[in-house]
Amino acid sequence: MIPCPQIDFTLEHIFDNLVELPTFPKVVTKALRVLDDPNGTTAQLVEVLKFDPALTANMLRLTNSALFGLPRQVTDLHTALTLLGQIQIREILIASAGAPYLTRPLHGYQMEPEDLWQHSMASALIAELLAKMCEYPDQPVLFTSALLHDIGKIVLNMFVGGRLDEILTLAQQERLTFTEAEWYTMGVDHAVIGSQILMQWDFPPDIARAVRNHHDPDLYIQDDLSSLLALSNILAVQLGLGVGADGFRHKINPKLLTRLGLSRQDMHRCIERALVAYEKSSDIISGYKA
Ligand SMILES: [Fe+2]
Ligand SMILES: [Fe+2]
């Protein structure tokens, strides 16, 4: 019989008592709206972004990074936005907004500063590769879901702090998955919390749902976005980057491959390409630390 800890960590209790709920930068939300607007222009985007110097600097640095391989050095935001594609602009915006949260240390999850960031970026890069392999039509939505899928961990870490050790010990002693142990000790898991945060940040319901589903085999098998996100997460864990305490017992569910029409060989190919893409993006990934 597993000992039952006396903790009242219902979803309502956590959100009611959270002193410092993370916020999503309004500038980025506004910029994403301009990108969503079929009549939105580059000039409008510049108008929104220019008031955030840190974000502007990030956009320029990324535009000039090896990843995008532009033929010349770009020094102004308008040119950068003109040269980058819509998808790339979205990715840079989301990554810039998420980085301050995802680069925090998560002691309860035995994650060093950068671990969650590395795992999130690896998941997002793998998601891009899987989107291409499966010809998934909405790559930016999948990228965003993958980058932010573990955002709930920062809230649980902020709220329960050192007591996450209890989860880890329980998971190891009872051979539970980390998510099962979260449910057992807190009545909630980081996927549910993450989904709540994304809804509060006004992200589309599809993204919140995929994040909610990413550890639940019965749920993630229900739709393509959730399946692709779940597989991106598993492959990122298998890649071994920044996995922390959550990294054990993550195997590929064969149902995922069947649903997505992928083979084991496809997975090997995807991991190989992901390593190359991660290497290529390393300056970007480490550059967000600042
Ligand atoms: Fe997760
Ligand atoms: Fe994850």
Q: What is the pLDDT along the chain (290 residues), one digit of tens a residue?
A: 555 555 555 666 666 666 566 678 888 888 988 998 889 999 999 999 888 887 888 778 777 776 667 777 888 888 888 888 888 888 888 887 888 788 777 766 667 767 888 888 899 999 999 999 999 998 889 998 999 999 998 887 777 666 677 777 777 788 887 788 788 777 788 999 999 889 888 889 999 999 999 999 999 999 999 999 999 999 998 887 766 656 555 788 899 999 999 999 999 999 999 988 888 777 666 655 54
Q: Which helix or strand (DSSP H or E) is residue 141 part of? A: helix 139-148
How far apart are the CA of 66 and the centre of ligand 2, in A? 27
Question: Cα(233) to centroid of ligand 2, in Å?
Answer: 5
Say what the pLDDT of residue 290 is: 45
Q: Which ligand is nearest to the CA of 127?
A: 2
Q: Where are the domains of the chain?
A: 24-93, 103-290
Do 116 and 102 touch, CB atoms closer than 8 A? yes
Write out the two tokens for 168. Answer: 């880890």
Listed residues: CB within 5 A of ion ligand 1: 150
Distance from Cα 58 to the centre of ligand 1, integer Å: 27
* Rounded Cα–Cα distance for residues 280 and 65 (Å): 10
User: What average pLDDT does the chain have?
Assistant: 82
Per-residue pLDDT tens digits for 168-184: 777 778 888 778 878 87
43: how many CB neighbours lie within 10 A of its CB?
Answer: 10
Q: How far is CA 125 from CA 73, 129, 130, in A?
A: 25, 7, 9
User: If you measure from the C-alpha of residue 191 to the centroid of ligand 1, how many angstroms do you get, rounded to a whole number?
Assistant: 6
CA 227 to ligand 1 centroid distance, Å: 13
Ligand approaching nearest to the C-alpha of 195 = 1
Is residue 229 within 8 Å of residue 211, measured between CB atoms?
yes
Q: Which CATH architecture has domain 103-290?
A: Orthogonal Bundle (1.10)
CA of 279 to the centre of ligand 2 (A): 19
| Residues 6+ away with beta carbon under 8 Å from 267 | 235, 252, 257
Residue 229 Cα to ligand 1 midpoint, Å, equals 10
Distance 39 CA to ligand 2 centre (A): 36
H/E run at residue 227: helix 224-239
Residue range 114-137, pLDDT digits in tens: 788 888 889 999 999 999 999 999
Cβ count near 25 (within 10 Å): 17
Give the ligand at the shortest distance from the Cα of 179.
1
Q: How far is 203 from 200, CA to CA, in rounded Å?
A: 8
Q: Which listed ligand is nearest to 243 at the C-alpha?
A: 2
Residue 250 contacts by C-beta under 8 Å, 6 or more apart in sequence?
A: 233, 234, 237, 238
Distance 144 CA to ligand 2 centre (A): 13
In angstroms, the CA 262 to CA 260 distance is 6
CA-based Rg of the chain, rounded to a whole angstrom?
Answer: 19
